[in-house]
Amino acid sequence: MKIETKAVHAGDRKRDPERPGAFIPVTTPIYTAASYVYESTEKLDRVLGQEEAGYCYGRYDNPTLAALEDLVTELEGGHASLACASGMLAVQTALLTALTDRPKRVVAANALYGATLSMLTKILEPLGVEVQFVDICDAAAVEQRIADVKPGCVIMETISNPLLRVGAIDRVARMCRHANAALIVDNTFATPLLVRPLELGANLVVHSVTKFLAGHGDVLGGVLTADADHAQVMRAINRTSGVGMGPFEAYLTMRGIKTFVLRMERQCANACRIASWLGGHEGISRVHYPADPAHPDAEIIARLLPRGLYGAIVTFDLKDAGKQDIFRFMDRLKLIVKGTSLGDVHSLLLYPAIASHRDIAPKQRERMGISDGTVRLCAGIEAVDDLIADLQQALD
């Protein structure tokens, strides 16, 4: 079954084996119950003991969340998923799952979302977890760092935030298997339409569903998908810590996913047009977009990403611009929304220095390639000519 069909049908219209002939809702309802009862206390005992499938307590599981989790598991080709209250909670749970029975050492890509960097350096390191960084696009450097550190896990992004570097997930996965390390991949920017990391050898995949999957700017949530080796630990962590998303958010996310393929295809097409236009503008000094033949990871992109689908994010530098120049440019935008997110149906523009990478020291941002003139645009589903016209008038 193709992903377009899975996005529409997976997770919904489950039949209750104990109620044959009962009506079946076309879409999964919102279940708000904190606990569940059964006619037989013996059955409740079996459900509580995980000897029999069923729902017993909201911290452990919920029918609305379960439907969303089944849907994302189908999309990512995983064994099980866990819907979380935020994308960062999904990242945290992935790290805990990977490190539970492994050395408390992490090798991380040196190009990551700012909050992920902060989690590694400001939360995990003070707790005694060793964190080492590496250029995830340099295969030789990754192999050497894994050999030196002997990590419990490696964490990377499919398409990095915000400079859109693309590492060879399949090659990194082979290195991790050889070292008995788990590979965690944040697939938010790519979505399972472009890349399915588990099929390339990753062990755990995370998404901020706030972005492209829910897609309408009205949900805060995340999801973690695990392979068969990590699913049980992931679930055990949730039963104790209760990281679950709320049922309303799960319902909205599931509704959004039904159209995510259509949205993502349009957003990718718009981003490609915008990147091409920006490349010819005299006020732009640098454009980052995976479709660029001169992209430093062009060989990996050609191998891992579908032709014509290169993501909805375009990152670019305004020529000789500082913070106040960027502020003036952003304030002149009339259609593109100045918001601290991405993946909505409307286009969003963000200044990493004050938003996604605000907590990263200026010198470190500079080493990462994020200058004071760098902005990140996520194309929406609007008419692309209107988006280009808005950029034109704001730049002129």
Compute the distance between CA of residue 151 and CA of residue 154 in angstroms, rounded to an integer.
7
- Give yes or no: 135 in active site: no
Q: Which residue among the candidates 61, 70, 186, 297 is catalytic per the annotation?
A: 186
Sign of CA dihedral 8, 310, 321, 277: negative
- Give yes or no: 372 in active site: no
Pair 86, 221: CB distance under 8 Å: yes
Compute the distance between CA of residue 157 and CA of residue 136 in angstroms, rounded to an integer.
9
Q: Which residue among the candidates 6, 61, 70, 113 is catalytic per the annotation?
A: 113
Pair 133, 108: CB distance under 8 Å: yes
Q: Which residue among the candidates 211, 263, 365, 376 is catalytic per the annotation?
A: 211
Q: Which residue among the candidates 46, 59, 319, 358 is catalytic per the annotation?
A: 59
- Give yes or no: 211 in active site: yes
- Give yes or no: 113 in active site: yes
Looking at the annotation, which residues are catalytic?
Answer: 59, 113, 186, 211
